[in-house]
Structure 1
């Protein structure tokens, strides 16, 4: 097990002064196809590198084609699994969530990534689908320990399942289980109860970064959300739509960087 490798990679992902991370989530294409703002990947990734974000989440194909744009810049978190969950309720969706691996920790190492990310979906209507994500995360966590790779677990209540994604009890459950599996960083939902979330963050076995969720109306709404998240104890932001769907993406990234590290 390479603790040195993990430590060096983690150090690349968190700002040394603030101890926090600003990450651009750009892995939507493998889950839902092209969404507004992602039509020109080069524009988005160049803006992220220019703004000085700490990390970017990419799918393997995007890394192959555009990873060179991030050379010497943000750390890369490689998405190595795929889910149907985000298509639930759409014409191309399924009644339940289905997940599978599409890449490996070894390939992420060969690509020069600092981390990999996998889903951990709970409270699905079909318990076997929750079981599948646990099996994937457990195997990936073991491989990450072997290779000295950082493992980000995206732990959330399944869309269309029997629990609310913003229920603090569910968030607490998911974060603890992700940490017990071996997550080095946990990506999860935020709840509006700041006191409860602060307790969750304090008790977590790994730093918690918050997902951006649905796109907000404008840059000030995004900023207000980011300030509340950081003030409640989150160690990072992993925002996607709330960056690349904004009219001024560069200004949004600069403002978020100031909120996270200022």
Structure 2
């Protein structure tokens, strides 16, 4: 691997465990300034203090979220966008460049593909071009790949998720983000099909911290490399404490009950 990529990946992955907790904060482009994304400096501080390895955002947000103090956290600049106001919300388009990420001091960049969408060919072309540029600059590439389109029966189907992951690997991604398939046995088929780290998406808001921690625990047990979880973290009652519990599962191999016990300690 390119030396630059290796150095940058160590800023967003724990070098001892080879795993990561990434907190995406890019939702404002898609749905607006939702709860948890209004005071970005506060949110970044909370997840960083909990032990998150990186935050992910669009190129205009570091100026609103860089703290200049506190615990350090890696930065991933997201290059894809669409909105829920569009008649084609699954059609992602590039709104940034690898060079933007370099200028902002990013440790990685990310792109989003929705396989099965009518605009799939454009997103595939864009990812291929970004991957080539990342290789040129030594910039790690995280690919968020989901199956969303008229021919997709279930985006959580293990074979479909494995296809998403394998495509990202073959097009040059360094880290892959996919949905969790629901159980360790099926998710292990996803991780076995790739030789690069796979992190899971958090998905819609979950009912309880146990559900979040259980999913994190099971995905790691199946060979996953951690999490890329947004709303379930930054809209939690105590994001710092939840990240601490997830850190214990992802990086310290805590059981679900051991991690939950951290949430029951006196509040910070």
- Secondary structure of the structure 1 residue equivalent to 2:127: helix
Cα 1:48/1:214, change in 2 over 3 Å: same
Distance 1:58 1:222, change over 3 A: same
2:112 equivalent in structure 1: 119
Match of 1:238 in 2: 228
1:52-81 deviation line (CA, Å, top 9, x unaligned): 211111111111322345787111110011
Tell me whether 1:164 sits opposite 2:154 in the alignment.
yes
CA distance in 2, matches of 1:156, 1:176: 12
C-alpha contact (below 8 Å) 2:98/2:109 kept by paired residues: yes
5+ unaligned residues in a row in structure 1: which ranges?
A: none
| Residue pair 1:171, 1:189 contacting (<8 A) in 2 also | yes
Distance 2:171 2:211 in 1: 34
User: Secondary structure at the residue paired with 2:160?
Assistant: helix
2:63 alignment partner in structure 1: 64
**Distance of 1:10 and 1:254 partners within structure 2:** 21
Distance 2:157 2:135 in 1: 31
TM-superposed deviation, 1:163: 3.3
Shift of 1:251: 1.1
Counterpart contact for 2:115–2:149, Cα < 8 Å: no
When the two structures are aligned, how many residues end up with a matched partner?
Answer: 252
Distance 1:161 1:56, change over 3 A: farther
CA RMSD of aligned residues (A): 1.8
Mapped to 2, the partners of 1:238 and 1:160 lie a distance apart of 26
Distance 2:153 2:181 in 1: 13
Shift in alpha-carbon separation, 1:148–1:232, aligned structure 2, 3 A: same
- Distance in structure 2 (CA, Å) of the matches to 1:108 and 1:57: 11
Q: TM-score, normalised by structure 2?
A: 0.88
- Cα shift readout 1:107-157 (whole Å, capped 9, x = no counterpart): 111110010000121022x2xx00111011011001000100000000111
Query: Does the Cα contact within 8 Å between 1:123 and 1:163 map onto a contact in 2?
Result: no
> Which whole-Å CA distance do the structure 2 matches of 1:249 and 1:194 have between them?
26
SS in 2 for 1:29: helix
Distance 1:152 1:161 in 2: 25
1:95 CA displacement: 5.0
Whole-angstrom distance in 1 between the partners of 2:222 and 2:185: 7
- TM-score after normalising by structure 1: 0.90
**1:224 aligned residue:** 214
Q: What residue in structure 1 maps to residue 198 of structure 2?
A: 208
- Name the CA distance, whole Å, in 1 between partners of 2:144 and 2:88: 21
Q: Distance in 1 between matches of 2:190 and 2:91?
A: 28
Instruction: Give the aligned partner of residue 135 of structure 1.
Output: 125
**1:157/1:163 contact within 8 Å kept:** no
Does structure 1 conserve the Cα–Cα contact (< 8 Å) formed by 2:112 and 2:145? yes
For residues 192 and 198 of structure 1, what CA distance do their matches in structure 2 show? Answer: 11
1:194 to 184, 187, 190: 184
Please give the per-residue CA displacement for 1:189-221, whole angstroms capped at 9, x wherever unaligned: 110242231122022132100000011122222
Q: 1:154 aligns with which of 141, 144, 161?
A: 144
Q: Check 1:196–1:220 CA distance in 2 against 1; reply closer, same or farther (3 A cut).
A: closer
